Amino acid sequence: MAFGFGSNRFVGIDFGTASIKAVELSIKNNLPMVTNYGQVSLADLENGTPPQGRSYDEEIVLHLKALFDRMRPNGHSASVAIPAFIGLISFIEFPLMEESELQEAIRFEAHKYIPSPLEEVALSWEVVGKHSIPGGKGEKMEVLLVAALKKEVSRYEHYVSSAGFTSDFLELETFSIVRSIINKDPGLFLIIDIGSRATNLILVENGTIKVSRNLDMGGRDITRVLSESLNITEERAKVLKKSGKDFLMTPEAALVFPALQMIAREAERILTACQAKRPDVKCKQVILSGGTAQFTGLVQYYENLLKLPVVIGDPWKGVQYDARLAKKISELGSAFSVSLGLALHRVDTVLHKNDKSAILYQKPKKMSFLSKDYLESLIKTK
């Protein structure tokens, strides 16, 4: 599916477990416009050894090439997200200090939070808040630290370069999801992104990540329960899962899905901890994202358990698209939040440069991503 608008194209690629998803945006009237999108299923790799003796990485490259062959994106660079479960997000408090000192202090402290030798890790950080210490004892600053193993970063770069593209920007998918689903909306939100293998729970206040947790469970655990409870094949269970039948809220059909219960318990833990720390701030909404957000009955089910308004996030809300795409885009829904968030970052960079008044969202001062230049500088300083 391709349209011919403008010349500036920005491609975001999400390497999910169930599929690789890509979106291409351009800029029209100073706003992002969808010019192309596509996804390729990884179902044949999800459960077991890749066919024909190829390695998983070789298969990913082949699938990505197949996706690009179909999409025929313009240009040769793309932004890439690293799965949240591969990276690490921590929060560290420091006494108020200059940025130059902070850099040193972070390097000194980081090893306490990162279980791998620092020379093997790509690090990035951002000051996310400042608050006073009770009793007039000065101020503290809160720093969000992002880390990923360099070899993992290289793996994703390798996928893209093997398909004939360069990766101009890499970040943890957590940031991409927040950018497309919440952007800078004011207030406190809990995003629950449920994919196939993994779930990300992200507490976000005024567009800034406050808490980020990953659980190793998702849509494929729902498939397994359906298959075992109804004594049907996983293939059949997958189809049934997406059929619109309500296995959560219809009493005669309801089944127990331990993965969904554990996700709710983690959400409760995050919300309770936040409430204890900040009794004055109330979570406005729980926002579901990822392909599994579309599991029929899930919104109502979580609304009952969490006693908060629950909605399915719309990552397409900040982009324009051809009216003929509306139906397809509504079907794709929140499964594209990562790829859209990536492409939106690139659009934002250009809009900042070209027209300072057309700001879609404010980029953090210190980048929360692992840019290629930044990674190279880390490797050089090693």
Ligand X SMILES: Nc1ncnc2c1ncn2[C@@H]1O[C@H](COP(=O)(O)OP(=O)(O)OP(=O)(O)O)[C@@H](O)[C@H]1O
Binding residues for ligand X, rule: CB under 6 A, are 16-19, 83, 195-198, 218-220, 238, 241-242, 290-292, 294-295, 335
- Binding site partner of 333, from ligand X, Mg ion, none, Cβ cut-off 5-8 A by kind: none
Q: How far is the CB of 342 from ligand X (least distance, A)?
A: 13
| Non-local CB neighbours of 74 within 8 Å, separated by 6+ positions | 7, 9, 24, 35
With binding defined as CB under 5 A, does residue 16 bind Mg ion?
Answer: yes
Q: 86 vs 232, which CB is nearer to Mg ion?
A: 86
Nearest to 260 by CA among 227, 292, 233: 292
- Binding site partner of 38, from Mg ion, ligand X, none, Cβ cut-off 5-8 A by kind: none
- Applying the rule CB under 5 A, the residues between 169 and 198 that interact with Mg ion are 195
DSSP string, 342-373: HHHHHHHHHHHHH-TT--SSPPPSS-SSB-HH
Please give the torsion angle defined by the CA atoms of residues 72, 154, 373 and 379, in that order, rounded to the nearest 10 degrees: -160
Instruction: Specify burial of residue 158 (Cβ count, 10 A radius: 0-12, 13-18, 19+).
Output: middle
Question: What is the C-alpha to C-alpha distance for residues 247 and 240, in angstroms, rounded to an integer?
Answer: 10
- Binding site partner of 219, from Mg ion, ligand X, none, Cβ cut-off 5-8 A by kind: ligand X
Question: What is the C-alpha to C-alpha distance for residues 57 and 238, in angstroms, rounded to an integer?
Answer: 25
CA distances from 304 to 67, 297, 317 (A): 40, 11, 26
Q: Choose the stretch contacting Mg ion; rule: CB under 5 A; options: 14-22, 34-42, 96-104, 255-263.
A: 14-22
Site string for Mg ion, 193-212 (x = CB under 5 A): --x-----------------
Q: How far is the CB of 22 from ligand X (least distance, A)?
A: 12
Q: Choose the stretch contacting Mg ion; rule: CB under 5 A; options: 11-19, 100-108, 152-160, 255-263.
A: 11-19
- Binding site partner of 213, from Mg ion, ligand X, none, Cβ cut-off 5-8 A by kind: none
- Binding site partner of 210, from Mg ion, ligand X, none, Cβ cut-off 5-8 A by kind: none
Q: 11 vs 82, which CB is nearer to Mg ion?
A: 82
- Binding site partner of 295, from Mg ion, ligand X, none, Cβ cut-off 5-8 A by kind: ligand X
Q: 18 vs 274, which CB is nearer to ligand X?
A: 18
Torsion sign, CA atoms 22, 27, 32, 36: negative
Task: Give the bridge partners for 170, in sequence order.
Answer: 80, 370
